[in-house]
Structure 1
Amino acid sequence: MANSTKYRKTNSMPDALDELPLAIDRAAPTPLSVQVATGLRAAATAGRLRGGDRLPSSRALATRLGVSRTVITAAYDQLHAEGWLSGRRGSGTYLTASPARGPRPLASAPPSRPASALLDLAAGAPCVEAIDRAAWRRAWRAAGDRIPLTRKDRAGDPEYRAAIAEHLLRHRGLGAGSDTRMLATAGASAAVGELAAALLRPGDTVAMEDPGYQRAAGAFRAAGVRVLPVPVDAAGLRVAEIPRGVAAVYCTPAHQFPLGARMPAARRVELVEFACRTGTLVIEDDYDGELRYDTAPLPLLATLGPDVVVHVGTTSKILSPVLGIGWLVGPPRVTEAVLAHREATGTGPAVAGQHVVAELARHGDLARHLRRLRREMPPRRALVTERLRGFDVRGDDAGSHVVVALASAAEEVRVVAAAARGGVLLEGLGRHHLGPRHTFGIALGYAAIGRADLPYALDVVADCLRAIGRSMVP
């Protein structure tokens, strides 16, 4: 009987191999180093190891397999040469996403997993990996130390509103210091719902980008408001095609969702002039306006037309949706109507999240976090364009997502399904349309996923695109 050794889990090493049996056969003619390299390569090819997984040190693995360290070193050197492994100074040896010499076949992807376990490349989620956990814990502790309220200010916690006013002035150039212009909200979608309930009547119509943000559309419809689609182009919402007689226009000018266009200054002026001329309210959703890292941001619509524009924002894209808060800045007539609606319905944003953000701002942690995000996002986006080179990747050099254009709805469905089988969550553009689908592709986010998992996930996407023949930019 062949003498074999198996490495199994111990309690002393929290590495990727802890749950992975690795067998060697001392009686086999194949050198032990080759057997180790073959076993690790096979585990990676089958998806039992993933890009970013940390391997044990050569000494630790040698001890566990009962072989000399030279055997493990030779195996690691071979896998390094093939592109399977990479070393990080002071951290260890890690599995790369795939061998550098060529794409990994789809058959090598991990088995299908539930959506909650997939590597998240859907757009619209924050980069929680960039949060300073010590600052996060400190803010929550400080928020918990506050005396519980007996009644809450329906406009929002004064310290939170002051912190957001400072944030908007510093990072977005919007003066919002007056209590009559600034309200706390439960997020951008909640703000849209409150505006619809407080200012619009059932049967009124709202113009909205198509494709566009479906949760905003849902908030309008829940208030009985009709949503009319307006086409978008490389400059965002096409003002000339806004239907006549609409009560409001909803748009995302800083970074159109989901196509990623930035509305240029001329079109911003055109939209504000339209609103002033027709008496139409413009709702400016600045969902990730802070995440501009290529050029200085353009003036907000709210600074160009403070009497006709309501500016809404959220912490869910720059911090975490667990906070459940955002803000609304608008003319006094708008904020007063929203406050009256809150008083009549007893509603308003929760205070706990406001306290946390106020504490982050108090110690300068909010500003430091935004600086970290602006450093974190560019290399992630660069990796996306590098790994998807040759495909039709679109979108402004900002925010946290791009669009990979496809030719049809069928291609979109196939790529999303194939990626899910490979362990990666993608989101097609189809679900973002208000009317008939006319733009096809993938809205690919690169913020939510861990930095170590991103290369592997992008290689899965590239394999899926090649499988449908999308190897060249149209």
Structure 2
Amino acid sequence: MHVPPIVLDRGSGRPLSVQLADALRTAAAGGVLRPGDRLPSTRELAVALQVSRTVTSAAYDQLLAEGWAAGRRGAGTFVVGSAPGGPTVPAPRPPSRSPAPASVDLRAGSPCLEVLDRAAWRRAWRAAGDVAPDAGPEPAGDTGFQLAVTEHLLRHRGLPADPSDVLATAGTSAAVAEVARVLRRGSRVGIEDPGYQRAAGALRAAGIEVVPCPVDDDGLVVEALPADLTAVYCTPAHQFPLGRRLSAARRVALVARARAEGWWVLEDDYDGELRYDVAPLPLLAALGPDVVVHLGTSSKVVSPTLGTGWLVAPASLRAELVAARTATGTRPARAGQRVLAALAASGDLSRHLRRLRRELAERRGLVLHALRAAGVPVTGDPAGAHVLVPLPDRATEEVVVAAAAAAGISVDALARHLAGPGPHRPTAGLVLGFAAPARADLVRVLPVLGGVLREALDRA
């Protein structure tokens, strides 16, 4: 058994398993490791290199897949020589240049996975796997999930509900699409503008006419809504993308108009659990349970891996949705539901939310400090995982997006969230997310982004 000297750079951005596979491959190609040499076991190599066995196993799996090594049952893993059909010596690399900066994603919409307790994540998946497989479909959703959502809504959103009131969904966009399919084809649905374009796309795909409706610093402008609507879609807790909450007066007015004119109100509470100053205003579903369809999701507070959300609606609409699922055989997968239920039952979900609120509140503070130090205005409520940086015009917006990309920073233009013509406030800006990157990357790029914005604003 022979192993060449291997040095792993733990400060590199490249995974340790990739570095290890590269080192062993280079040793085999260069003759340091010869055909027939037995490699140490993954456990022995992990101990020698002081890494986890996951690292060594992943490296060996890669070499086995490429043909540089072969496994013999009961004997171990052996060097083959060179990959089948491949060169014995790695091809020379072109002259080195300064590498392009790794992109840091500051677009809104991704969760903060850095604070997710991976041990809790694994426990929840194991607990979900301990449940017996389903013998048949359950259109409404897993009963454990319905109970977990009921408790979650009461504890974190102040909404009393019965488990039977809850339908599992595949997320808020999927829920909007389901509701749209039970509406009369050609119905008109009002949607905030600027607003969430996936919801608009789900409505249009179902044959619904989307009616852009203005928003301002107090949220959706209720008095500007046309009278001939079937439903209104809105994000009252944290308007996307402007980051404001719907005022109390407008909440009352919206529910009153919905009752008087026969609308459904689709309340997308995509990140309502995340507020850092005061308790959120009461949900629209609490004010108007007879006309409001409440939509929630685990994607922003845990991970889109679960593919799980929930819907709380009046009994008549729930019955239509369940009937449509039964007739078409469509329903959300139950695996993610059971994982979320396991997270909730163990208390790990509540602990995660506490960590998440603390981390995102601190990240928001970092964003405000860095950009305001550069003289850049920032707007939006102390909530959620994004802020808005208003810009004077579309030309400046395009310049900033391009300059940020050149600096290795992905940012999101407000223009992408505008649905229709007409006056809006503001019409240009950055929808700046701060949940996705590692905190160290966020701290590193914020001064760079501040400089990009300051230069563009000075030119404007």
Interval containing the TM-score (normalised by the shorter chain): 0.7 to 0.9
| SS, match of residue 469 in structure 1 | helix
1:26-64 Cα distance to aligned partner (Å, 9 max, x none): xxxxxxxxxxxxxxxxxxxxxxxxxxxxxxxxxxxxxxx
For residues 210 and 299 of structure 1, the distance between their equivalents in structure 2, rounded to whole angstroms, comes to 23
1:178 Cα shift?
4.3
1:64-107 Cα distance to aligned partner (Å, 9 max, x none): xxxxxxxxxxxxxxxxxxxxxxxxxxxxxxxxxxxxxxxxxxxx
1:208-247 Cα distance to aligned partner (Å, 9 max, x none): 1000000000000000000001110001000000012100
Off by >2 Å, runs of 4+ in structure 1: 16-19, 110-113, 469-472
Which residue of 182, 190, 206 corresponds with 2:174?
190
For residues 283 and 216 of structure 1, the distance between their equivalents in structure 2, rounded to whole angstroms, comes to 10
Q: Which of 460-469 and 356-365 deviates more?
A: 460-469
For residues 471 and 147 of structure 1, the distance between their equivalents in structure 2, rounded to whole angstroms, comes to 63
User: Is the alpha carbon distance of 1:151 and 1:352 closer, same or farther for their aligned partners in structure 2, counting shifts above 3 Å?
Assistant: same
1:471 Cα shift?
9.1
| SS, match of residue 457 in structure 2 | coil
Which residue of 243, 254, 257 corresponds with 1:260?
243
Given the alignment of the two structures, is residue 234 of structure 1 paired with residue 217 of structure 2, yes or no?
yes
Which residue pairs with 1:146 in the alignment? 131
Calculate percent identity across the aligned residue pairs. Answer: 57
For residues 448 and 99 of structure 2, the distance between their equivalents in structure 1, rounded to whole angstroms, comes to 12
Given the alignment of the two structures, is residue 385 of structure 1 paired with residue 368 of structure 2, yes or no?
yes
- The letter for the 2-side match of 1:150 is A
Q: Is the 8 A contact 1:111 1:423 kept in 2?
A: no
1:117-138 Cα distance to aligned partner (Å, 9 max, x none): 6211001111111111100011
For residues 468 and 352 of structure 1, the distance between their equivalents in structure 2, rounded to whole angstroms, comes to 47
List gaps (5 residues or longer) in structure 2: 16-97
- The letter for the 2-side match of 1:339 is V
User: Is the alpha carbon distance of 1:235 and 1:111 closer, same or farther for their aligned partners in structure 2, counting shifts above 3 Å?
Assistant: farther
Which residue of 393, 396, 400 corresponds with 1:415?
400
| SS, match of residue 228 in structure 1 | strand
Given the alignment of the two structures, is residue 367 of structure 1 paired with residue 350 of structure 2, yes or no?
yes
User: Is the alpha carbon distance of 1:387 and 1:471 closer, same or farther for their aligned partners in structure 2, counting shifts above 3 Å?
Assistant: farther
Given the alignment of the two structures, is residue 405 of structure 1 paired with residue 380 of structure 2, yes or no?
no
For residues 188 and 141 of structure 2, the distance between their equivalents in structure 1, rounded to whole angstroms, comes to 29
Which residue pairs with 1:173 in the alignment? 158
- The letter for the 2-side match of 1:245 is D
User: Is the alpha carbon distance of 1:229 and 1:145 closer, same or farther for their aligned partners in structure 2, counting shifts above 3 Å?
Assistant: same
| SS, match of residue 189 in structure 2 | strand
Which residue pairs with 1:201 in the alignment? 184
Q: Is the 8 A contact 1:230 1:237 kept in 2?
A: yes
Q: Is the 8 A contact 2:180 2:203 kept in 1?
A: yes
* RMSD, matched Cα: 1.8
List gaps (5 residues or longer) in structure 1: 1-8, 20-109
Given the alignment of the two structures, is residue 164 of structure 1 paired with residue 149 of structure 2, yes or no?
yes
1:162-191 Cα distance to aligned partner (Å, 9 max, x none): 001000000001112141x21000000000
Which residue pairs with 2:433 in the alignment? 445
Q: Is the 8 A contact 1:275 1:281 kept in 2?
A: yes
For residues 290 and 232 of structure 2, the distance between their equivalents in structure 1, rounded to whole angstroms, comes to 14
Q: Is the 8 A contact 1:391 1:471 kept in 2?
A: no
Q: Is the 8 A contact 1:111 1:421 kept in 2?
A: no
Which residue of 260, 263, 279 corresponds with 1:296?
279
- The letter for the 1-side match of 2:360 is M
User: Is the alpha carbon distance of 1:12 and 1:223 closer, same or farther for their aligned partners in structure 2, counting shifts above 3 Å?
Assistant: closer
For residues 470 and 342 of structure 1, the distance between their equivalents in structure 2, rounded to whole angstroms, comes to 55
For residues 304 and 470 of structure 1, the distance between their equivalents in structure 2, rounded to whole angstroms, comes to 46
For residues 13 and 179 of structure 2, the distance between their equivalents in structure 1, rounded to whole angstroms, comes to 53
Given the alignment of the two structures, is residue 353 of structure 1 paired with residue 336 of structure 2, yes or no?
yes
Q: Is the 8 A contact 2:213 2:221 kept in 1?
A: yes
Give TM-score, length-normalised by structure 1. Answer: 0.75
For residues 201 and 229 of structure 1, the distance between their equivalents in structure 2, rounded to whole angstroms, comes to 19
| SS, match of residue 265 in structure 2 | strand
Which residue pairs with 1:128 in the alignment? 113
- The letter for the 2-side match of 1:449 is P
1:397 Cα shift?
0.7
For residues 345 and 298 of structure 1, the distance between their equivalents in structure 2, rounded to whole angstroms, comes to 38
- The letter for the 2-side match of 1:210 is D
How many residue pairs were aligned?
369
Give TM-score, length-normalised by structure 2. Answer: 0.78
For residues 306 and 18 of structure 1, the distance between their equivalents in structure 2, rounded to whole angstroms, comes to 51
Which residue of 3, 7, 10 corresponds with 1:11?
7
